[in-house]
């Protein structure tokens, strides 16, 4: 039986995800921005969480953990490098650890950049990637704690995964990301088509998450900094990918659209 996944909108633009293994009845919650929203979703499904998987230390990803942990007694698994900043952690992990949720297995990737200790979880068999604030639909997180080229290397690690991987990111930022993306990759037809789809989905208040990694590889400029078309479009023809990535990350920081 396939894993069951539920996307849980939290706060103004965060997502938590519920993941259930039907074989064992194990249930993981990936990040807990808002305990009330997560508990309500669990109660609706009548699922009892056995694990909480944490991606990084930011408050909007961890603040609901104590309430969920206290209510259900789930084991909290998260980044070893940020353990001091996540007081509720039971199990500390980092690359190349494997996390088990019942019979489901996730490889842990260290993806420094947004925070120094950010990790992503990849359920290889189920083709699910939990990328939180490292890789967004059509975007990436701000490089708060490591220079942009370090974040670029982290994104390259994720880009190696198969095209049919479903990408669950931590925020609904896709419309703003799409509007920015067309400014740095104006000739990308697949991107324009995707922007139109995203506008339609958001106008109907539908989530744009998950996307597939294949779509991201074709349309997300932050995964395409080594494509000469992007370097040319931003006036950096011949520049290396890390420099192009740094420039588009900086442009996004000040983009209003």
Q: How far is the CB of 136 from Zn ion (least distance, A)?
A: 11
What does the CA dihedral 36, 42, 44, 45 come to, rounded to 10 degrees?
170
Q: How far is the CB of 60 from Fe ion (least distance, A)?
A: 5
In angstroms, rounded to a whole number, what is the distance separating the alpha carbons of residues 144 and 102? 34
Residues paired with residue 104 on neighbouring β-strands, in sequence order: 101
**Is-contact 209 168, C-beta < 8 A?**
yes
Q: How far is the CB of 131 from Zn ion (least distance, A)?
A: 11
Tokens 């996540």, residue?
86
Near Zn ion by CB under 5 A, which window of 58-66, 145-153, 199-207, 226-234? 58-66
Q: Which of 31, 133, 185, 216 binds Fe ion (CB under 5 A)?
A: 133
Kindly give the interhelix angle for 35-45 and 65-72, rounded to the nearest 10 degrees.
Answer: 40
* Residues forming the active site: 56, 58, 60-61, 114, 133, 171
Q: Which does 110 bind (CB under 5 to 8 A by kind): Zn ion, Fe ion, none?
A: none
Decide if residue 171 touches Zn ion (CB under 5 A). Answer: no
Give the tokens for residue 82.
């940020």
Decide if residue 57 touches Zn ion (CB under 5 A). Answer: no
What residues make contact with Zn ion under the rule CB under 5 A? 58, 133
What residues make contact with Fe ion under the rule CB under 5 A? 60, 133, 170
């Amino acid at each position: 039986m396939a894993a069951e996944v539920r996307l849980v909108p939290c706060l103004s633009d965060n997502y938590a995800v519920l993941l259930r293994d039907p074989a064992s009845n194990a249930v993981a919650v990936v990040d807990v921005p808002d305990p009330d929203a997560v508990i309500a979703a669990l109660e609706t499904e009548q699922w009892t969480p056995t694990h909480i998987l944490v991606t990084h230390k930011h408050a909007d990803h961890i603040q609901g953990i104590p309430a969920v942990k206290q209510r259900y007694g789930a084991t909290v698994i998260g980044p070893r490098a940020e353990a001091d900043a996540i007081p509720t952690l039971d199990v500390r992990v980092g690359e190349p650890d494997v996390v088990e949720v019942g019979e489901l297995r996730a490889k842990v990737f260290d993806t420094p950049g947004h925070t120094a200790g950010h990790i992503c979880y990849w359920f290889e068999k189920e083709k699910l990637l939990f990328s939180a604030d490292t890789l967004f639909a059509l975007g990436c997180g701000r490089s708060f704690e490591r220079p942009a080229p370090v974040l670029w290397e982290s994104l390259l690690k994720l880009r190696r995964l198969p095209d049919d991987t479903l990408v669950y990111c931590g925020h609904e930022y896709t419309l703003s990301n799409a509007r920015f993306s067309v400014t740095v990759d104006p000739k990308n037809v697949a991107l324009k088509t995707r922007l139109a789809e995203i506008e339609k989905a958001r106008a109907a208040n539908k989530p744009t998450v998950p996307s597939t990694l294949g779509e991201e590889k074709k349309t997300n400029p932050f995964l395409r900094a080594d494509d000469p078309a992007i370097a040319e479009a931003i006036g950096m023809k011949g520049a290396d990918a890390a420099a192009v990535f740094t420039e588009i990350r900086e442009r996004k920081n000040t983009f209003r659209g």
